[in-house]
Chain A
């Protein structure tokens, strides 16, 4: 009798599983909900707020995809994943798309049978130290104790960097960002290394932020982006182009506020194709032609998303840097909508 919940749920789960089909798009449509693997708590990128609603830069990508596919940016279920569980959860079909500041690497792309469809943030690994150490370059860190998040690419980059420069260090392998920040603040490590964006947000909240410097060396390339399972190319296309719609919208000056107005007046064929006024862009990936419009309306174009979550006006205060539009000297470059 008391096994009821157990058996009942297993039976229900089996039924749900029975409905699973080969196409992620069909699954998402049938479910009426996008399942998005996200970080359980990374300031600015993804974290539930006081009401339990996920907010952040990565979350905006999930919302854009949900808006493009289902027409409603709120129809997303966020599954919090740790560094260790994320790729397995994606591979096993537990989530439809993984947007969890995951670095695009060769082995992840190939061995883990995943596809990185785009890069939504170009990051790089940096070091943060206290000014009183008198260190001005990462190459002066020989013999230092360094906090590094375990289960990430940063661990390997760190090892490579010190090896390449013939230096030694004592690693402190911490489980998550909060631990790292606390250890660094207490002085249990000389330096904290993680993605530069993470360093900036950590630094912003330390009580003695003015005494902390982020060293100039960026020791790795960390292209972070949404990931899908290998093999379902149509789904990959949907995620990719939903994201690039945001980038293109910024390039062409389409914002959440002026979208309707632009749509009514623009004669630029590229913008008209983007907004579904011309051509059959959406149909070709199994959606309708308004998909990009809805994606942009979800939380604005790439620039707006950036500014709202991690940009200079927020307390994290990240500069656009590499993530500026290519026209501004950055790397954000949406392929043509043609």
Chain B
């Protein structure tokens, strides 16, 4: 008679691979791995056979050939004589720029809207509800198209800003005028802002790969950080004096002097002035032009994502029990400090994880940029380059790899942050 406590018979039977819990998980894992590898080999083999049949190869050498197309917004110098690789980098930088600014603006706007939705003000709470529901329930593509159109249709064309001789003679005014003492012009193509310029410029250095770095900016940065460091030292000394003698030396004017005198001297030396945009034959020149393709995409991404973030913020605030507020009041904290010391730190724990995925979404959604002619990574590498070279396999894989890297970087950074604010349970 076998007892339940009888030791299992020694020896290994093949059926144990399936029935014995000690081995089963290993069996399953090996089978899954084999199936996965078999699938992978099958796919790669197919790709190999197909490429062979089409007489194509798989290599990335096309990235070093001449691109031959022009791009409007380039953060680093670019011309159509540059390589596809450089065009890729331009696109990537554009993607990163719009995503980065979008994340910041959407967080700010989303927080404000989320708080306002909980407001006591009936009208404001309703308006915010309408805003959130409208933006959440209509596809982003439509918002992007709409923003592009609104900016293009409602702002005056550049030539409306022009004052021709004939108009002067007739005493007419231009149809549109610039803002802020003729320094800012918002046309239907872009926002023209004054740009800093230097009469005695230090020039630029090329740090390789035709990446110019402005020595003026470097000098300004150096001087500013030096003055800041000096100011910190000065304040620390003042504190030490106060500790030792009980009287605090006058600090306000030396502070101002330390902070602003060197930079003013430098700017004066460099001949700093603002370069204002001027209307010319077709458009404004001079100054700094921010194209509407960028603005429209940024606004659309911000407004759309802010609606989602607002809901996250609202849920986060509502998740904190009322008792926390009451306890804080009982301890004698003022409402402001209650919010910043008690409610927000706890709400953040609820808010941050879904916020991360909204950041990821925003970054991925920026790939719709082509709808407003913003040339991002998908517009350069995944659009024109792919089309001109016919290397869809390489281009798409490269593009997926880049987006994946961006996503994983964002989520790991945010996870690190999340870990740092996590509730430490004992």
Q: Is the CB of B71 within 8 A of A151?
A: no
A169 within 8 A of B: yes
Contact with B along A178-214 (1 / 0, CB 8 A): 0100110011111000000000000000000000000
Contact with B along A90-119 (1 / 0, CB 8 A): 010000000000000001100111000000
B72 within 8 A of A: yes
Which of B246-254, B261-269, B381-389 contacts the other chain? Answer: B381-389
Report the nearest A residue to B289, measured CB to CB.
A170
In the complex where A143-B280, A150-B384 touch, is A159 in contact with B189 (Cβ < 8 A)? no
Report the nearest B residue to A169, measured CB to CB.
B70
A156 within 8 A of B: yes
Contact with B along A151-174 (1 / 0, CB 8 A): 110011011101100000111111
Q: Is the CB of B281 within 8 A of A172?
A: no
List 26 A-B residue pairs with CB atoms under 8 Å apart, sorted by A's residue number. Answer: A88-B392, A91-B54, A113-B54, A133-B282, A143-B280, A143-B282, A145-B282, A150-B379, A150-B384, A151-B383, A151-B384, A151-B387, A152-B387, A169-B70, A170-B72, A171-B69, A173-B72, A173-B373, A173-B384, A174-B373, A182-B152, A186-B149, A186-B152, A187-B157, A188-B152, A188-B292
Contact with B along A279-301 (1 / 0, CB 8 A): 00000000000000000000000
Q: Is the CB of B282 within 8 A of A190?
A: yes
B158 CB to closest chain A CB, in angstroms? 8
Q: Is the CB of B281 within 8 A of A143?
A: yes
How far, in whole Å, are A182 and B145 apart by their CA atoms in the complex?
A: 11
Q: Which residues of A contact B283 (CB under 8 A)?
A: 143-145, 170, 190
A173 contacts which of B153, B379, B390 (Cβ < 8 Å)? Answer: B379
Q: Is the CB of B370 within 8 A of A133?
A: no
B285 within 8 A of A: yes
Q: Is the CB of A111 within 8 A of B390?
A: yes
How far, in whole Å, are A108 and B388 apart by their CA atoms in the complex?
A: 9
A312 within 8 A of B: no
Q: Which B10-68 residues sit within 8 Å CB-CB of chain A? A: 54-56, 68
Q: Which residues of A contact B375 (CB under 8 A)?
A: 173
Q: Is the CB of A171 within 8 A of B70?
A: yes
B201 within 8 A of A: no
Q: Is the CB of B80 within 8 A of A159?
A: yes
Which 8 pairs show the lowest CB-CB distances between chains A and B?
Answer: A187-B157, A188-B152, A151-B387, A186-B152, A159-B80, A144-B282, A112-B390, A171-B70
Report the nearest A residue to B371, measured CB to CB.
A175
Known A-B contacts: A145-B282, A159-B80, A183-B373. Give 20 more (CB < 8 A).
A107-B390, A108-B390, A112-B390, A113-B55, A113-B56, A143-B283, A144-B282, A150-B383, A150-B387, A151-B384, A156-B68, A156-B388, A170-B189, A170-B291, A173-B375, A175-B370, A175-B371, A186-B149, A186-B188, A188-B188
A75 CB to closest chain B CB, in angstroms? 28
Report the nearest B residue to A87, measured CB to CB.
B390
Q: Which residues of B contact A133 (CB under 8 A)?
A: 159, 282
A84 within 8 A of B: yes
How far, in whole Å, are A162 and B152 apart by their CA atoms in the complex?
A: 25
Q: Which residues of B contact A162 (CB under 8 A)?
A: 70
How far, in whole Å, are A215 and B405 apart by their CA atoms in the complex?
A: 46
How far, in whole Å, are A62 and B145 apart by their CA atoms in the complex?
A: 33
Q: Is the CB of B188 within 8 A of A172?
A: no
A275 CB to closest chain B CB, in angstroms? 39
How far, in whole Å, are A74 and B352 apart by their CA atoms in the complex?
A: 58
A21 within 8 A of B: no
Q: Which residues of B contact A182 (CB under 8 A)?
A: 149, 152
Q: Which residues of B contact A150 (CB under 8 A)?
A: 370, 373, 379, 383-384, 387
How far, in whole Å, are A92 and B282 apart by their CA atoms in the complex?
A: 45
A185 CB to closest chain B CB, in angstroms? 9
Q: Is the CB of B152 within 8 A of A159?
A: no
A51 within 8 A of B: no
Contact with A along B344-378 (1 / 0, CB 8 A): 00000000000000000000000000110101000
Q: Which residues of A contact B80 (CB under 8 A)?
A: 159, 163
Q: Which residues of B contact A170 (CB under 8 A)?
A: 72, 189, 283, 291
In the complex where A175-B371, A186-B149 touch, is A83 in contact with B387 (Cβ < 8 A)? yes
Interface residues on B, range: 35 or more
B293 within 8 A of A: yes
How far, in whole Å, are A133 and B159 apart by their CA atoms in the complex?
A: 8
A267 within 8 A of B: no
Q: Which residues of A contact B71 (CB under 8 A)?
A: 171, 173
Q: Which A126-159 residues sit within 8 Å CB-CB of chain B? A: 132-133, 141, 143-145, 150-152, 155-156, 158-159
Contact with A along B383-414 (1 / 0, CB 8 A): 11011101010000000000000000000000
A302 CB to closest chain B CB, in angstroms? 30
How far, in whole Å, are A152 and B390 apart by their CA atoms in the complex?
A: 12
Q: Which B266-287 residues sit within 8 Å CB-CB of chain A? A: 280-283, 285
A14 CB to closest chain B CB, in angstroms? 13
Q: Which residues of A contact B291 (CB under 8 A)?
A: 170
B370 contacts which of A107, A159, A173, A187 (Cβ < 8 Å)? Answer: A173
How far, in whole Å, are A280 and B159 apart by their CA atoms in the complex?
A: 66
Q: Is the CB of B383 within 8 A of A159?
A: no
Q: Is the CB of B189 within 8 A of A145?
A: yes
How far, in whole Å, are A207 and B390 apart by their CA atoms in the complex?
A: 38
B285 contacts which of A141, A143, A158, A171 (Cβ < 8 Å)? Answer: A143
Contact with A along B116-156 (1 / 0, CB 8 A): 00000000000000000000000000000000010011000
Q: Which residues of B contact A151 (CB under 8 A)?
A: 383-384, 387
A191 CB to closest chain B CB, in angstroms? 9
B369 CB to closest chain A CB, in angstroms? 10
A221 CB to closest chain B CB, in angstroms? 17
A84 contacts which of B70, B280, B292, B387 (Cβ < 8 Å)? Answer: B387
Report the nearest A residue to B188, measured CB to CB.
A188
Q: Which residues of B contact A158 (CB under 8 A)?
A: 70
How far, in whole Å, are A172 and B72 apart by their CA atoms in the complex?
A: 7
Q: Which residues of A contact B69 (CB under 8 A)?
A: 155-156, 159, 171
Q: Is the CB of B282 within 8 A of A84?
A: no
Report the nearest A residue to B68, measured CB to CB.
A156
Q: Which residues of B contact A111 (CB under 8 A)?
A: 390
Q: Which residues of A contact B280 (CB under 8 A)?
A: 143
Count chain B CB atoms within 10 A of each CB in A91, A107, A159, A188 and give the residue with the most. A188
Contact with B along A62-73 (1 / 0, CB 8 A): 000000000000
Report the nearest B residue to A151, measured CB to CB.
B387
Q: Which residues of B contact A173 (CB under 8 A)?
A: 71-72, 370, 373, 375, 379, 383-384
Q: Is the CB of B386 within 8 A of A84?
A: yes
B156 CB to closest chain A CB, in angstroms? 9
How far, in whole Å, are A118 and B152 apart by their CA atoms in the complex?
A: 40
Q: Which residues of A contact B285 (CB under 8 A)?
A: 143
Contact with B along A30-46 (1 / 0, CB 8 A): 00000000000000000
Q: Which residues of B contact A144 (CB under 8 A)?
A: 282-283
